[in-house]
């Protein structure tokens, strides 16, 4: 039987579409795809077709129509706004088609797309625009309402406004409708030209801009393709040819924000070479998502664990035909092993998949799916072929398989540094190894296991407790839908384990404590469990807002202590 390593060697060998070669790039030793497109623009142009591409409510665009619309926006940016190569152009709106078209245009004219968090308020928006030095902003009405009036040098193009425009703000549709068919303005773009700035949200201080070039992004896209080709070859599956008219076109649901690396790369940019159509949602709603999968015959979606848990619960009601769904991908945070099993059991044909990646790695790092994932439900998979992973101890020494430490990554998709933050870059890299801040280990087979964030460990009486491990145990209970675990200050032990849970009406906290005793060591058992009456708050990308939950829980624990009651009971 052909082994996985033999398949990888065959698919990446000389003359193959995914041929990998070692090169020195900007002072870094990298494994690069010899036949990768030379830029995102080259990828867009090579995949223009009449196949359906974008769908939003009643709106439909083919790949060719999307390129034509993006070309008009590119013309506006160059000839009306004076944008030149290297200028920053910001996007701040919901997942409208204009988000995608603007991004296509920006990255096709050599400018840098600044994907702004659409949930930022006025002060945060002003910071992002000023920090990036954006010359143009594409914004919808909600973002226009938050825009600081005095932003010198910033041109604003309004998308789908519902109110009269402020002075100086121009309507994008008026500008593009005035144009007939126009070509995308010609610009020379190299793989190492910067393409995007995505801002990472930190718990303290201002967010940091992650700068990625065309090579970083294309390496991530081709890495996913290679992983899929390896998996299909090992399984004996003949891969479908993109655009094959005899095979039903695949479709994916865009359910996470485009300003997030998962939405931008895995959901959106991954569609081009696969000729996969994409259906955009206005906002996340599990019932609406299931209805779209049913009506549009969608085959895949990628969402964080909290959202895939929502969809599992809808699937279990059997209200919708979800048989076309073949892959339910994940990321952002590890899934609880129980949810992995529930995905396989709740959908007729969908298998679970996930991976570990960061904004700084362009969403790749490791990946796992199908039977591998069911056999290793706590793992984030094996390392991408264009990256290297290692685990180090506090002294910086590499650790052997099975030992936990900080996860480091280097390779072709890894960004070169944060925008205008040399002091942060100096702390974030050891040579060309990026410090992820994740506690992890690699097993003997090369499977990666993310244990926790370094800053998300509870140290109880000298014992290290991973919040993720306790959350996984909580989510094993059938009545627990969401869980967040955090440290609670304790005079005697230093820190105790606290947890906030949201679940069904039948959830009983005392029964939950008894259940946990069979799944956790005594020192890992939560001393404080707070029950939430509402689903736990999440970031726009679907991650649970642990810091906000912790602050609310600590206040409740303090109130309960003052009255002699138990928090959450």
Q: Return d(Cα 446, Cα 459) in angstroms, integer.
A: 28
Question: How buried is residue 78: exposed, middle or buried, by Cβ count under 10 Å (0-12/13-18/19+)?
Answer: buried
> What CATH class is the domain 4-35+214-453?
alpha beta
Q: Return d(Cα 268, Cα 265) in angstroms, integer.
A: 6
Query: In this predicted model, what pLDDT tens digit does every residue of 229-274 receive, in sequence order?
Result: 999 998 888 877 888 888 999 999 999 999 999 999 999 999 999 9
Q: What is the DSSP string of 10-24?
A: HHTSTTSTT-EEEEE
Q: Return d(Cα 465, Cα 460) in angstroms, integer.
A: 7
Residues paired with residue 208 on neighbouring β-strands, in sequence order:
200
Average pLDDT score over residue span 278-294 = 96
Q: What is the pLDDT of residue 544?
A: 86
Q: What is the pLDDT of residue 294?
A: 98
CATH 3.40.50.980 fits 63-200, yes or no: yes
Q: Return d(Cα 566, Cα 560) in angstroms, integer.
A: 6
Tokens of 100: 């995608």
Look up the pTM and report it: 0.86
Residue 204: pLDDT band with limits 50, 70, 90: very low
Domain ranges (residues) in the chain: 4-35+214-453, 63-200, 461-563
Residue 569: pLDDT band with limits 50, 70, 90: very low
Higher pLDDT, 494 or 163: 163
Say yes or no: do domains 4-35+214-453 and 63-200 share a fold. yes
Average pLDDT score over residue span 304-318 = 91
Q: What is the pLDDT of residue 564?
A: 67
Say which DSSP state 29 is in. E
Phi then psi for residue 77, to 5 deg, are -60, -45
Query: In this predicted model, what pLDDT tens digit does every residue of 432-475 receive, in sequence order?
Result: 999 999 999 999 999 999 987 777 778 787 677 878 878 988 99
In which region does residue 100 sit, left (phi positive, over 0), alpha (psi from -120 to 50) or beta (all else)? Answer: alpha
Say which DSSP state 266 is in. I
**Lowest-confidence range among 91-95, 102-106, 372-376?**
372-376
Q: What is the pLDDT of residue 360?
A: 97
CATH 3.10.620.30 fits 461-563, yes or no: no
Q: What is the pLDDT of residue 462?
A: 65
Size (the chain), residues: 569
Question: pLDDT > 70: what percent of the chain?
Answer: 97
Higher pLDDT, 203 or 224: 224
Average pLDDT score over residue span 198-221 = 87
Query: In this predicted model, what pLDDT tens digit does every residue of 158-183 receive, in sequence order?
Result: 999 999 999 999 999 999 999 989 99
How does the average pLDDT of the chain come out, rounded?
92
Residue 203: pLDDT band with limits 50, 70, 90: very low
Q: Return d(Cα 241, Cα 230) in angstroms, integer.
A: 15
Query: In this predicted model, what pLDDT tens digit does every residue of 5-46 receive, in sequence order?
Result: 999 999 999 999 999 999 999 999 999 999 999 999 999 999
Query: In this predicted model, what pLDDT tens digit does every residue of 517-532 receive, in sequence order?
Result: 988 878 889 999 999 9
Higher pLDDT, 562 or 541: 562
Say which DSSP state 90 is in. E
Whether the pLDDT of residue 491 is over 90: the answer is no
Q: Return d(Cα 567, Cα 569) in angstroms, integer.
A: 6
Average pLDDT score over residue span 57-65 = 98
Whether the pLDDT of residue 206 is over 50: the answer is yes
Q: What is the pLDDT of residue 558?
A: 87
Q: What is the pLDDT of residue 240?
A: 79
Query: In this predicted model, what pLDDT tens digit does every residue of 329-365 receive, in sequence order?
Result: 987 667 888 889 999 999 999 999 999 999 999 999 9
Helix axes 97-108, 63-75, angle to 10 degrees: 60
Would you say 383 and 366 are in contact if contact means Cβ atoms under 8 Å apart? yes
Q: Return d(Cα 91, Cα 156) in angstroms, integer.
A: 10
């Amino acid at each position: 039987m052909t082994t996985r390593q033999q398949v990888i060697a065959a698919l990446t060998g000389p003359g193959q579409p995914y041929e990998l070669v070692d090169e020195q790039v900007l002072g870094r030793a990298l494994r690069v795809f010899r036949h990768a497109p030379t830029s995102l623009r080259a990828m867009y142009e090579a995949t223009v077709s009449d196949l359906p591409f974008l769908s939003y409510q009643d709106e439909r665009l083919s790949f060719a129509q999307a390129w034509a619309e993006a070309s008009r926006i590119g013309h506006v940016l160059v000839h009306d706004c004076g944008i030149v190569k290297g200028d920053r152009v910001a996007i701040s709106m919901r997942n409208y088609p204009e988000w995608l078209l603007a991004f296509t245009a920006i990255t096709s004219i050599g400018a840098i797309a600044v994907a702004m968090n659409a949930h930022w308020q006025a002060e945060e928006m002003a910071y992002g625009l000023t920090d990036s030095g954006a010359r143009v902003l594409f914004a919808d009405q909600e973002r226009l309402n938050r825009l600081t009036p005095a932003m010198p040098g910033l041109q604003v193009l309004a998308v789908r406004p519902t109110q009269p425009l402020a002075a100086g703000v121009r309507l994008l549709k008026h500008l593009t409708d005035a144009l007939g068919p126009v070509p995308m303005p010609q610009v020379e773009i190299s793989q190492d030209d910067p393409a995007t700035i995505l801002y990472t949200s930190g718990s303290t201080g201002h967010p940091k801009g992650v700068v990625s070039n065309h090579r970083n992004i294309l390496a991530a896209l081709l890495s996913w393709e290679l992983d899929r080709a390896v998996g299909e070859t090992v399984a004996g599956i003949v891969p479908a040819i993109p655009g094959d008219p005899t095979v039903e076109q695949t479709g994916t649901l865009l359910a996470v924000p485009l300003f997030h690396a998962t939405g931008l790369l895995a959901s959106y940019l991954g569609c081009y070479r696969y000729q996969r159509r994409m259906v955009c949602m206005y906002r996340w709603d599990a019932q609406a998502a299931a209805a779209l999968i049913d009506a549009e015959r969608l085959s895949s979606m990628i969402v964080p664990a909290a959202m895939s848990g929502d969809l599992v619960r809808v699937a279990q009601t059997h209200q919708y035909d979800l048989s076309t769904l073949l892959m339910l991908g994940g990321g952002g945070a590890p899934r609880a092993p129980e949810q992995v099993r529930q995905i396989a059991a709740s959908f007729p044909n969908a298998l679970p998949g996930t991976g570990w990646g960061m904004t700084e790695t362009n969403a790749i790092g490791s990946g796992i799916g199908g039977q591998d994932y069911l056999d290793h439900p706590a793992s984030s998979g094996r390392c991408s072929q264009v990256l290297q992973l290692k685990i180090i101890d506090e002294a910086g020494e590499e650790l052997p398989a099975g030992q936990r430490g900080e996860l480091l990554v280097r390779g072709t998709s890894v960004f070169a540094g944060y925008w205008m933050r040399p002091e942060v870059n100096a702390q974030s890299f050891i040579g060309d190894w990026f410090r992820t801040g994740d506690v992890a280990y690699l097993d003997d087979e090369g499977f990666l296991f993310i244990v926790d964030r370094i800053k998300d460990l509870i140290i109880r009486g000298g014992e290290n407790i991973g919040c993720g491990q306790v959350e996984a145990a909580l989510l094993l209970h059938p009545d627990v839908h969401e869980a967040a675990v955090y440290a609670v200050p304790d005079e005697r032990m230093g820190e105790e384990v606290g947890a906030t849970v949201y679940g069904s009406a039948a959830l009983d906290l005392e029964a939950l404590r008894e259940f946990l005793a069979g799944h956790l060591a005594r020192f890992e058992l939560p001393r404080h469990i707070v029950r939430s009456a509402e689903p736990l708050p999440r970031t726009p990308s679907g991650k649970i807002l642990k810091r906000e939950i912790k602050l609310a829980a600590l206040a409740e624990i303090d109130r309960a202590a003052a009255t002699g009651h138990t928090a959450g009971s």
